[in-house]
Amino acid sequence: MNKTAQMQHIDRVLSVAHDVHADDTETDPIRRSWKRCIKDYGLDPARSPAARIVPSQQLREHQEQIEEFLRVARAGMEQMYKRISGSDYVLLLSDAEGITVDYIGHESAAHELKPAGLYLGADWSETYAGTCAVGTCLVERKPITCHQDEHFGTSHIGLTCTSAPLFDPEGKFLAVLDMSALRSPREKDSQLLAVHLTSMYAQMIEDANFLRHFRNDWILRLGSTWELVDVSGDAMLAFNEDGLVVGANTGARHLFSAAVGRKLEDLFGKSVSDIWRVARSSYGGERSLITSELSRSFYISVMHPQRCSTSRPSLPATAARDYPALDRLAGEDPQMQRLLDQAKRLVNRRLNILVHGETGTGKEVLAKALHESSERAKQPFIAVNCAAIPESLIESELFGYTAGTFTGARNKGMKGLILQSDGGTLFLDEIGDMPLHLQTRLLRVLSEREVLPLGAEKAVPVNLTVIAASHRDLRNLISEGKFREDLYYRLCGATLHLPSLRDRADRDYLVEKILREEAELLNADGRLSGAARQLLLCFSWPGNVRQLRNVLRYALALADGEEILPEHLPREVTDSIMPGAMALLPAARHADVYVGALAVEPESARLLRSLRNNKWNVTAVSAELDICRATVYRQMKKFGIVPPNRQS
Ligand SMILES: Nc1ncnc2c1ncn2[C@@H]1O[C@H](COP(=O)(O)OP(=O)(O)OP(=O)(O)O)[C@@H](O)[C@H]1O
C-alpha cells in the first residue's frame, strides 16, 4: 500500500475512533475494535508494531497449557489444510491470550509469512497487534473476517484473515482458529468461503474435543437431518447412567438455557429408556424426539461410553446387540465396542468404508461381518487383495474383458471382480498398492456407477459398495503422490480403525473363541493350561489375530488332544517372556508366581501393583485405576490374579 493510502487509512481509523456519534460503532465489530485500540489500549495506527514472535520457551509454556486439546485441534487443522492446500492460505491456532500455538503453512514462503506474523509463536492479541481476526475474535467471541485495511495498523493492511472461536467442553473460551493469506482480491466478499470453512472446522474440532472429554459418558446427538445425525449432530449432550446431563456442547448450550445438571427426562419429557429406544430405531420418522422445553423436534442418536459403567439400569441391555455377525468379533474391549457401535450405525448406509489396521487385525473379517449384517447379505462378497495380484493382471481381474481381447485369454471373455460383486460388497484389501492408472478407473466406476470391461465398447451399470482396507497410511501415500486424493475421499464415506491385538483388553475372549473354532476343525478338545494361557495373554502379537490363530492351530496339533502346555507353544511366544519366568510357569500354583510373565504386560502389572498397594481392597483399586469394580474382578480373572486369601 502506498504512502497516501496509508495516510488515508490512519485518518479513517482516527476519525471513527474519535467520532462519538457514529451510529454503526455499536454494531460493526471492526469499528468497535478500532475504538478499543485507541481509547483502551492507547495504540496508534501510525506506529503499527512489527509482528512479535514469542521465544520458543514461552511458546512451549503456552502450548503445554492446552496440550491435549492441541492434539485434537492438530488433526482438524491438517484435514482443513488439505482442503485449502494449493491456495495461499495458512492456518493459525491461537490460545486465549492470542499466542499462535499451532500453525500450518508453506515453509517455502516462511521468509514472507514470518515477518507478517502468519507464523508459529506470533502474538495476535488485540492489545498488541490492534484490530485483527484473532485478537478481535478473542474479544468478540464470534467469527470475524478482518480484511485488508480493516486491520488497525498499517503493517497488516495487506492481509486477509478469518477466524472462529473455540470453547472448551465446559463452555470456557479456549482458542481461535484462523485462516489467513498475505494477498487476496480487494472485495471482502471473496472471503465468504473462508468464513464457512473456518467456522465449520472450528465446530468440528470443538466437538471432537467435547467427545474426548466426555468419552466415559453417554452422548446424545440432536440434529435436524436424519441422515447426518449419527455423524454430525447440531447439538450434543453428555449424560451419565442416571440420565443426568453432565456436559453440553456449544450447539446444545445455545439451544437450552441451562442443560447441565438437569435430567434428560426434564428436557425431553421422556424416560432415558424411551430416549434410547427412539435413538435405536432405524427409521427416520421414528427417530425424532420433541423437546418439552423448546417444543422443537430433533432426530437423535446415542453413543456409548468408551469405558464400561458400573450400572446402566435404564438402558435395555439388548439394545446394542442387533448384529450378531459384528457382535461376535469382540469381547469386552472398549475400543472394539466403540468400533462395533460405529460399524452398526454404518450398516445399510450405502457408504463406502475405509478400514485401517495393522496386518492381521481382522480387516477382512470386519468387512465380511458388515456385509453379512447388511441387506446385501445374500449378494456376493468379493475380496480382492490388490497387493497379491500381479500388476499386469489386476486390471483384467477387476474390470474383466470381452471375448478376443487377449491372445491366450478365455474365449468367452471374463466378468471382472467388480461386476461379480454387483449388488453385494467388493472388499479391496491393500488398496494402497493399487497402481495409479487403475485408481483412476476405479474412481470412474465409483462416481459413474458403471464399468467398462477391457475391449468393451459399452459400459455396464453396476451397483457397488466398496469396503477398502490398508495397513499403510493412505494420507502419506497421497502426499507422496502414490494415491489419488479424490479416490481417498470417495472411499472414506466412513473410516474404521481396528486396534492391534496387543492393545485389546479382550484377548482372553479371542483366545477362547479361536481355540474353539480351531479345535472344532480338528475334532479335538481344546484346553489351555493356566501357564499357556498366561503366555498367550502376555505376548505382544506383532502378527495380531492371524498370528494368534496360527499359534493356536500349531499348539493344538502338538498337544495332540491333551491339555495345551507352554511347551506346545512356538518359541516366538515362549521366548518373549522375561528370562527366568519360564522356569516358574509349569510349576505355578498361585497368581503371584506369574508376576515374571505379567511384567511384560503393563495392564496386568499395573492391576497387580494396585491390588497389593491397596491390600487387595477392590473398591480402592477401582477408584485408583478409575475402572468399575466389575472390571477389576474381570481383569483379575483374565490375568489369573488370585487374592492371597483364596490361594490354596
Ligand atoms: N474378531 C476375530 N475373531 C476371530 N478371528 C479373527 C478375528 N479377526 C481376525 N481373525 C482371524 O485373523 C486372521 C486374519 O484376519 P483378516 O484377514 O481379516 O486380517 P487383515 O487385517 O485383513 O489382514 P491383512 O492386513 O494381512 O490383509 C484370519 O484368520 C481371521 O480368521
**Residue 647: its pLDDT value, please?**
54
Identify which of 363, 425, 546, 552 to mutate to test ligand 1's pocket (most ligand atoms within 8 A of the CB).
Answer: 546
Do residues 346 and 485 both lie within one domain?
yes
Q: How far is the CA of 544 from the centre of ligand 1 (A)?
A: 8
Query: Contact, 357 vs 498, CB < 8 A?
Result: yes
Q: How far is the CA of 596 from the centre of ligand 1 (A)?
A: 30
Closest ligand 1 atom to residue 366 Cα is 18
**Enclosing domain of residue 396:** 327-499
Q: Measuring from each residue's beta carbon to the nearest atom of ligand 1, which residues come in under 6 Å?
A: 329, 357, 359-365, 429, 469, 471, 510, 513-514, 545-546, 549
Q: How far is the CA of 160 from the centre of ligand 1 (A)?
A: 51
In this structure, what CATH number is given to the domain that contains residue 364?
Answer: 3.40.50.300
> Tens digits of per-residue pLDDT, 184-232?
888 888 899 999 999 999 999 999 999 988 887 888 888 877 667 766 6
Collapsing DSSP states into helix, strand and coil, what is residue 175? strand
Closest ligand 1 atom to residue 357 Cα is 21
Nearest residue (by CA) to ligand 1, atom 4, is 514
Identify which of 327, 336, 356, 364 to mutate to test ligand 1's pocket (most ligand atoms within 8 A of the CB).
Answer: 364
* Residue whose C-alpha cell is 482458542: 175
Do residues 310 and 252 both lie within one domain?
yes
Nearest residue (by CA) to ligand 1, atom 1, is 329
Is position 362 within any domain? yes
**Residue 317: its pLDDT value, please?**
35
Closest ligand 1 atom to residue 498 Cα is 21
Query: Contact, 417 vs 384, CB < 8 A?
Result: yes
**Rounded Cα–Cα distance for residues 129 and 152 (Å):** 8
Q: How far is the CA of 548 from the centre of ligand 1 (A)?
A: 10
Nearest residue (by CA) to ligand 1, atom 13, is 546
Q: How far is the CA of 536 from the centre of ligand 1 (A)?
A: 17
Closest ligand 1 atom to residue 329 Cα is 1
Nearest residue (by CA) to ligand 1, atom 7, is 362
**Rounded Cα–Cα distance for residues 343 and 494 (Å):** 9
Q: How far is the CA of 502 from the centre of ligand 1 (A)?
A: 14
Q: How far is the CA of 282 from the centre of ligand 1 (A)?
A: 29
Mark which of 292, 316, 340 sits at the end of a domain: 316
Q: How many CA atoms lie within 13 A of 566 on its CB side?
A: 22
Do residues 486 and 531 both lie within one domain?
no
CA torsion 377-380-385-390 (nearest 10°) is: -170
Is position 247 within any domain? yes
Q: At what angle do helices 67-84 and 56-65 cross, to 10 degrees?
A: 100
Identify which of 516, 545, 553 to mutate to test ligand 1's pocket (most ligand atoms within 8 A of the CB).
Answer: 545
Residues 6+ apart with CB under 8 A from 395: 438, 441, 454
Do residues 368 and 516 both lie within one domain?
no
Q: How far is the CA of 546 from the centre of ligand 1 (A)?
A: 5
Nearest residue (by CA) to ligand 1, atom 8, is 362
Angle at 136 between CA 134 and CA 139, to 5 degrees: 110
423 sits in the region (left: phi over 0; alpha: psi -120 to 50; else beta) called left
Do residues 493 and 521 both lie within one domain?
no
> Tens digits of per-residue pLDDT, 541-569?
989 999 999 999 999 999 988 899 988 99
Query: Contact, 135 vs 95, CB < 8 A?
Result: no
**Residue 499: its pLDDT value, please?**
93
- What secondary structure does DSSP assign to 317-348, as a single string? TTTT---HHHHTT-SS-HHHHHHHHHHHHHTT
In this structure, what CATH number is given to the domain that contains residue 28?
Answer: 3.30.450.40
Do residues 388 and 358 both lie within one domain?
yes
Identify which of 356, 359, 365 to mutate to test ligand 1's pocket (most ligand atoms within 8 A of the CB).
Answer: 365
**Rounded Cα–Cα distance for residues 566 and 530 (Å):** 9
Provide the number of structural domains found in the chain.
4
In this structure, what CATH number is given to the domain that contains residue 546?
Answer: 1.10.8.60
Mark which of 499, 523, 554 sits at the end of a domain: 499
Q: How far is the CA of 84 from the centre of ligand 1 (A)?
A: 37
The residue type of 158 is G
**Residue 471: its pLDDT value, please?**
83
**Rounded Cα–Cα distance for residues 386 and 381 (Å):** 16
Cell numbers found for residue 183 = 494477498
**Rounded Cα–Cα distance for residues 208 and 347 (Å):** 23
Torsions phi, psi of 494, nearest 5?
A: -155, 150
Mark which of 482, 499, 516 sits at the end of a domain: 499
Closest ligand 1 atom to residue 430 Cα is 27
Closest ligand 1 atom to residue 365 Cα is 18
Is position 1 within any domain? no
Is position 418 within any domain? yes
Q: How far is the CA of 479 from the centre of ligand 1 (A)?
A: 29
* Pure H helices in 175-328: 192-213, 250-255, 264-268, 272-280, 324-327
Q: How far is the CA of 328 from the centre of ligand 1 (A)?
A: 13
Do residues 260 and 341 both lie within one domain?
no
ipTM of predicted complex = 0.99
**Residue 346: its pLDDT value, please?**
83
Is position 528 within any domain? yes
Do residues 233 and 270 both lie within one domain?
yes
* Residue whose C-alpha cell is 483412476: 440
Do residues 546 and 486 both lie within one domain?
no
The residue type of 562 is E
**Rounded Cα–Cα distance for residues 151 and 160 (Å):** 9
Q: At what angle do helices 391-399 and 436-448 cross, to 10 degrees?
A: 10
Do residues 291 and 351 both lie within one domain?
no
Q: How far is the CA of 317 from the centre of ligand 1 (A)?
A: 28
Is position 206 within any domain? no
Is position 205 within any domain? no
**Residue 21: its pLDDT value, please?**
64
Do residues 489 and 604 both lie within one domain?
no
Is position 209 within any domain? no
Collapsing DSSP states into helix, strand and coil, what is residue 209? helix
Closest ligand 1 atom to residue 514 Cα is 4
- What secondary structure does DSSP assign to 486-526, as a single string? HHHHHH-SEEEEPPPGGG-TTHHHHHHHHHHHHHHHHT---
Q: How far is the CA of 514 from the centre of ligand 1 (A)?
A: 11
Q: How far is the CA of 430 from the centre of ligand 1 (A)?
A: 14
* Average pLDDT per consecutive 10 residues, the chain (648 residues; last block may be shorter): 84 84 70 92 88 90 86 91 87 96 86 90 95 96 94 90 93 94 88 93 93 85 75 81 84 85 83 74 61 74 63 37 84 86 83 90 96 93 88 84 67 85 94 89 85 87 92 86 86 86 91 93 86 88 94 92 90 64 36 35 69 85 83 79 66
Nearest residue (by CA) to ligand 1, atom 2, is 329
* Pure H helices in 227-356: 250-255, 264-268, 272-280, 324-327, 334-346
Closest ligand 1 atom to residue 330 Cα is 1
Do residues 519 and 611 both lie within one domain?
yes
